[in-house]
Amino acid sequence: MLLLWSMRFFVLLGMAVSFVAFPAMANADPASTQLIVVSAAKQSDQTATLTAYQRQGTTWRPIIGPALAHLGTLGMGVPADNVSRTPMGTFRLDQAFGRQANPGTAMPYFRSTQQDWWDENPSSPTYNTHVRSSTSPGGDSENLYDSGPVYDYAVNIAHNPTRTPGRASGMFLHVTDGQPTQGCVATDRNTMIALLRWLDPKQTPTISIGVNVPAPTSGSAPVVPAGDLPGRDLLPSWLLDLIATVQRMLPV
């Protein structure tokens, strides 16, 4: 029996290590005609180049950028709660918000107050969603007003649409303060305003974050490694905790 459990442990541990080291692949949404590419030279980089592309017919054309973007303190890779790493992959952009008035975006937009939070409490039923409340949802939930000018303008990167606890929450594209982020993508204020004015939910806007991401070609968008854990739901909670611990120790 002990031998059997030992074998199971090392099989699961091997799965965990492979998930951290070799993330899955993510394809760009074929319905998208708006794509933001965030490309770094290597995973550990804290900065990247941001360029926005518009698809016209079968041709992608650069619209905004290139601009400097700041990434997580640990660069990019597999995301997890309390790990300052920007998720890799291709994700939709859905909810915009800011401390300032709507700059003219067609995206769903709310102007934040001190009662606006992003729920980052993995035990909460509203984990990884916007919550309007006079009190914090708990955990590491972030006040979208008190966080300061970095959230003057922002849009949610929907990297965890299933809201799976532990897979990280509150990853945004927002205004930079010139420093590495806690996992978000941040760019200068003027670029952020230009992006919001350009983004259109009817065009299924997406963002691709990765290493040496190529510019989109005619009729197709780049494929980038996704910072995700395939088969996560099959893993026990203690192993997910171990994965998160390993992620915090990794340099990239």
Q: 162-192 pLDDT, tens per residue?
A: 999 988 999 999 999 999 999 999 999 999 9
How confident is the model at residue 171, as a pLDDT? 96
CB of 234 closer than 8 Å to CB of 24: no
3-state secondary structure of 250: coil
pLDDT digits (tens, 9 = 90+) for 83-138: 999 999 999 999 999 999 999 999 999 999 999 999 999 999 999 999 999 998 88
d(CA 181, CA 162) in angstroms, rounded, equals: 23
pLDDT digits (tens, 9 = 90+) for 51-70: 999 999 889 999 999 999 99
Residue 70's beta-bridge partner residues? 47, 186
pLDDT digits (tens, 9 = 90+) for 101-111: 999 999 999 99
Give the pLDDT mean for 14-32. 52
Q: Residue type at 58?
A: T
Q: Residue type at 238?
A: W
Average pLDDT of the chain is 84
How confident is the model at residue 55, as a pLDDT? 94
Confidence of residue 160 (pLDDT cuts 50, 70, 90): very high
- What angle (nearest 5°) sits at the alpha carbon of residue 87, between those of residues 239 and 106? 135
3-state secondary structure of 152: coil
How confident is the model at residue 223, as a pLDDT? 63
d(CA 179, CA 193) in angstroms, rounded, equals: 19
Confidence of residue 40 (pLDDT cuts 50, 70, 90): very high
Residue 82 neighbours by CB under 8 Å, 6+ apart? 140, 244, 248
Scan for tokens 């949802």, then name that residue.
137
- What angle (nearest 5°) sits at the alpha carbon of residue 179, between those of residues 174 and 183? 55
CB of 111 closer than 8 Å to CB of 87: no
Q: How far is CA 165 from CA 78, 112, 133, in A?
A: 14, 25, 21
How confident is the model at residue 226, as a pLDDT? 61
Domain boundaries, the chain: 26-227
How confident is the model at residue 217, as a pLDDT? 80
Dihedral Cα 35, 223, 164, 149, nearest 10 deg: -40
How confident is the model at residue 33, as a pLDDT? 93
